[in-house]
Amino acid sequence: MKRRLKSIYKKLYSHFGPQAWWPGDSPFEVMVGAILTQNTSWANVEKAIKNLKNNKLLSPLKLYRLHPKKLALLIRPAGYYNIKAKRLNNFLKFYINHYRGSLKKISQKTSKVLRRQLLSVNGIGPETADSILLYALNKPVFVVDAYTRRIFLRHKLIKDNGSYTQVQDLFMCNLKPNLKLFNEYHALLVKLGKDFCLKSKPKCNICPLK
Partner DNA sequence: GACCAGGCACATC
Partner DNA sequence: GATGTGCATGGT
Residues in contact with DNA by the rule CB under 7 A: 21-23, 33-34, 37-44, 47, 76-77, 79-84, 121-129, 131, 135, 145-147, 161, 163-164, 190, 193-194, 198-200
Prior bond to 22 cis, omega within 30? yes
Residues 6+ apart with CB under 8 A from 140: 111, 134, 177, 178, 179, 182
Q: How far is the CB of 66 from DNA (least distance, A)?
A: 16
Kind plus residue range of the DSSP H or E element containing 23 = none
Q: How far is the CB of 81 from DNA (least distance, A)?
A: 5
List beta partners, residue 202.
Answer: 197
Would you say 61 or 179 has its CB closer to DNA? Answer: 179
Cβ–Cβ < 8 Å for 179, 4: no
> What CA–CA distance (Å, rounded) separates 82 from 11?
41
Distance from chain centroid for Cα 115: 13
Q: How far is the CB of 179 from DNA (least distance, A)?
A: 15
Q: How far is the CB of 39 from DNA (least distance, A)?
A: 4
Would you say 199 or 210 has its CB closer to DNA? Answer: 199
Would you say 3 or 201 has its CB closer to DNA? Answer: 201
Would you say 18 or 100 has its CB closer to DNA? Answer: 18
